[in-house]
Homo-oligomer: A and B are copies of this chain.
Amino acid sequence: MIQPDPSPFLDACRRQPVSHTPVWFMRQAGRHLPEYRAVRGSGSILEAIARPELAAEITLQPVRRYGVDAAILYSDIVVPVHGAGFGVDIAPGVGPVVADPFRTAADLDRLPPFNADEHTPYVAETVRILAKELEVPLIGFAGAPFTVASYLIEGRPSKDYVLTKTLMYNDPLLWVALLDRLADYAIASLRSQVGAGASAVQVFDSWAGALAPDDYRRYVLPASTKVFAGVADLGVPRIHFGVTTGELLGLLAEAGADVVGVDWRVPLATAAERTGGRVALQGNLDPAAVGAGWEATEVKALEVLSAAADLSGHIFNLGHGVLPTTDPSVLSRLVELVHTTVHPSL
């Protein structure tokens, strides 16, 4: 008798056989959902994240509506540095902004050793609420050292990362100290989330794709490797994600990930080659195809499922976050399509 599959998501992360292809969406909890806009209010997102009942409700909304195979904590990658008092806010329509950006070694003092219970107690509290409520795994997450550093140094979202790279090239000792500190932040935050009930973790190095592979290897890989090693003993699947990372996919796996996220620019077969078939892959539908409506979504989703047929371990997702203009009914149909398309491993 075939046992029921308690979590296709966790099984796919571990490259085990699954009863159907699991699916969730980055930014599945967010502005595209009317029920999100109804409860979110107009304050800073950081205020909403700091209210455990509200953050838990927002996390649950897409699970209820879509029947996705995993929830992802409603939070933000700057929450730990914000909680520790670095002075980060998230400006609506802009993103993370820092009034007094990171410039010198003295700024390291503004990043004291991170203590999740002390600096961001609301995060673990939200996770605890969710662990009781959810019937699917909860993904905890943290920002990778490079991407968090880029916000602290640039002071706002950047297109060219020239201040970040200037510090990286010109003051490698301070760079290493900063990334090492931020690795500790990520580890402590992830450990706290898993301790409170998260069943998997995703490390967002969203903007690492701005780096040439040699620079990634030299200046970023060590700190990211430390993050993955720092949560290895927890036994939960570890996902590593960024955009425009085509040339970095092998290195993202090498950092210690069990699952590597792939954006839509890279065919899944190519991503499998570059990661040496050693990891599960997550992705990689273009969010703009979903934004275009059901017809385009169906065509492109079937292409993704077809490309994934030969993979050992595939979690269906978008290549980046759900766009705010997305029609929720398209995502509902997409989940149904993914769940009912026969998975080749059966």
Q: State the A residues within 8 Å of B (CB).
A: 160-162, 164-166, 169-170, 209-215, 244, 246-247, 264-267, 270, 286-289, 291-293, 295-296, 299, 303, 320, 323, 325
Contacts and interface: CB of A to CB of B under 8 A. Distances in A.
Nearest to A266: B247
B212 A170 contact: no
A213 B215 CA distance: 26
B288 A162 contact: yes
24 contacts: A160-B287, A160-B323, A162-B323, A162-B325, A165-B292, A165-B296, A166-B292, A166-B293, A169-B289, A169-B293, A169-B295, A169-B299, A170-B292, A170-B295, A170-B296, A212-B264, A212-B267, A212-B286, A214-B303, A215-B286, A244-B265, A247-B265, A247-B266, A247-B270
Nearest to A267: B213
Given A247-B267, A323-B162, A292 B214 contact: no
Pairs A-B, 7 closest by C-beta atoms: A169-B296, A166-B292, A162-B291, A165-B288, A162-B288, A246-B246, A169-B292
A216 to B, nearest CB: 10
A271 to B, nearest CB: 10
A289 B270 CA distance: 29
Given A212-B286, A246-B246, A165 B291 contact: yes
Contacts of A212: 264-265, 267, 286
Contacts of A209: 244, 265
Nearest to A264: B212
Contacts of A291: 160, 162, 165-166
A286 B165 contact: yes
Nearest to A248: B265
B288 A161 contact: yes
A332 B8 CA distance: 58
Nearest to A212: B264
A170 B165 CA distance: 40
Contacts of A292: 162, 165-166, 169-170
Contacts of A270: 247
A166 B288 contact: yes
A325 B165 CA distance: 14
Given A166-B291, A166-B293, 7 more contacts: A162-B291, A169-B289, A170-B292, A170-B295, A212-B265, A244-B265, A246-B247
A293 B325 CA distance: 41
Nearest to A320: B160
B244 A289 contact: no
Contacts of A295: 169-170
B247 A244 contact: no
Nearest to A287: B160
A300 to B, nearest CB: 8
A266 B289 CA distance: 26
A325 to B, nearest CB: 7
A286 to B, nearest CB: 6
B170 A289 contact: no
Contacts of A266: 246-247
A264 B165 CA distance: 13
